Amino acid sequence: MELLDKYLQAVKFWLPSAQQNDIIAELRDDIRSQAEERESALGRSLNENEWEALLKQRGRPLLVAEKYLPPRWLIGPILFPAYWFVLRLALLCYLLPWVGVWIGLVIVNPAYRAQHLGLALFGDILFLFSHAVFAMIVVTIVFAAIERGIEQGKDGNWLDKDWSPRKLPRVRDKRRIPRAKSGAEFIFGTIFGIWWLKILWTLTVFETGGIRVTLPSSWHKFFWPFLGLLILNLSLSAIDFARPYWTRERFGARAVQNLLSAIVFFFVLKDFAPVLAEVPAILPQDLTSLSGVITFGLTVAFAIACVVGLINAFVNTWRALRREDSPVRLNHRVAM
C-alpha cells in the first residue's frame, strides 16, 4: 500500500488544488477495486512486484493527472500558423542579413577577419544566437498575450465574424511588375544616384557649420562604375514601367545588374579607405573615433549591399532559368 500512496501523492501534485482530494479519492477506490479483483482471483494479497506492475499499467503520474486538466496551450491551434509564419519571418529577417554581413566583412576586410576568426568566432555565434533567441522570446510573448486575450474574450468566435471574401487580398499575378514599384525605383534611384555621384565627384559627404566629412581621393575612381550602374538601373526601371511584365530576359538583365552591383561593392570594400572628419573644437582622439564610427557604418552598409546583390543575382538567375510555363504539380496522394 505504500506504493499506492506514493503513486497517488505523485498524481495529486499535478492536479488543480480544488479537485485534488476528490479525484484522488476516486482514483484510490478504482485502483483498490482492481487490486481486490486480482487478489480474489489469486486467492492471496498482491506482493510488491504485483503492485508495481498494476501501477505501472496505469501510467506515469504526470500523464494520469494531465487527463484531468483542461487543455491548455501557450499558442493555440488558431494562432499557431500565424505565430509560426511571424517567427520564421523574424528569424529570417534578423539572422540572414547579419550572417551575410559577417561573411562579407570576413571576406573583404582583413582587419575584421583577423579579429573575428578562431575563438572569437564563438563569441560572434553566441551574439547572433542570443539575439535570435531574444527575437523568438519577444514574438512568443506577443502571441501568448494575444492568445490569452482570445481565451478571456467573451466572444470566442471573433475570428469567424466580420470577414468577407471581398476583403481578401487580390489574386497575385506573379508575372506582373507593379508600376508603383518601378516608378518609385526610378524616382528614388535618380535622387539617390545623383546624390551619391556628387559625393564621389566632389569627395565631400557632409559639410555644414564647420563640420566636414570627406572621402579620400582614392574614392574618385569609383565614380564611373557607379555612373554605369545608375544608368543601367534607371534603364531597367523605365523598361519595367513601360512594359510591366516579367520575362525570362528581364530576369536575366536584373541578374546581370545585381551581379555588377555586387562586384562594384566588393571592390569598394576591398580598397576601402577611411573617411576623413573635420570638426572644430574637438579633441583629436574624439575626431579619430568619429571617423572610425562613420567608416565602420559605411563598411557595413557596403557589405550588406554586396551580399544582397549576390543573393538577388542568384534568385534572378534561378527565375530566368526555370520553366515559367510548367504546369501546377498536384499531389495525387491527397486526392486518393
Which chain residues interact with other proteins by CB under 8 A? Answer: 23, 25-27, 29-30, 32-34, 58-59, 63-64, 67-68
How far apart CA 254 and CA 273 sit, in angstroms, is 30
Please, which residue, 34 or 247, has the CB nearer to other proteins?
Answer: 34
Give the Cα-Cα-Cα angle 149, 76, 159 (nearest 5 degrees).
Answer: 60
Please, which residue, 62 or 120, has the CB nearer to other proteins?
Answer: 62
Please, which residue, 20 or 140, has the CB nearer to other proteins?
Answer: 20
- 58 Cβ contact partners less than 8 Å away, ≥ 6 residues apart: 7, 31, 64
* Least distance CB 64 / other proteins (angstroms): 6
* Least distance CB 15 / other proteins (angstroms): 11
Please, which residue, 17 or 33, has the CB nearer to other proteins?
Answer: 33
Please, which residue, 111 or 334, has the CB nearer to other proteins?
Answer: 334
Task: Name the grid cell of 65.
Answer: 493527472
* Least distance CB 1 / other proteins (angstroms): 14
* Least distance CB 176 / other proteins (angstroms): 43
3-class SS letters over the chain: CHHHHHHHHHHHHHCCCCCHHHHHHHHHHHHHHHHHHHHHHHCCCCCHHHHHHHHHHHCCHHHHHHCCCCCCCCCCCCCHHHHHHHHHHHHHHHHHHHHHHHHHHHHHCHHHHHHHCCCHHHHHHHHHHHHHHHHHHHHHHHHHHHHHHHHHCCCCCHHHCCCCHHHCCCCCCCCECCHHHHHHHHHHHHHHHHHHHHHHHHCEEEEECCEEEECCHHHHHHHHHHHHHHHHHHHHHHHHHHCCECCHHHHHHHHHHHHHHHHHHHHHHHCCCCCEEECCCCCHHHHHHHHHHHHHHHHHHHHHHHHHHHHHHHHHHHHHHCCCCCCCCCCHHHHC
* Least distance CB 77 / other proteins (angstroms): 16
Please, which residue, 67 or 332, has the CB nearer to other proteins?
Answer: 67
* Least distance CB 70 / other proteins (angstroms): 9
Please, which residue, 12 or 58, has the CB nearer to other proteins?
Answer: 58
Please, which residue, 35 or 262, has the CB nearer to other proteins?
Answer: 35
| Number of Cβ within a 10 Å radius of residue 170 | 5
* Least distance CB 45 / other proteins (angstroms): 17
* Least distance CB 26 / other proteins (angstroms): 5
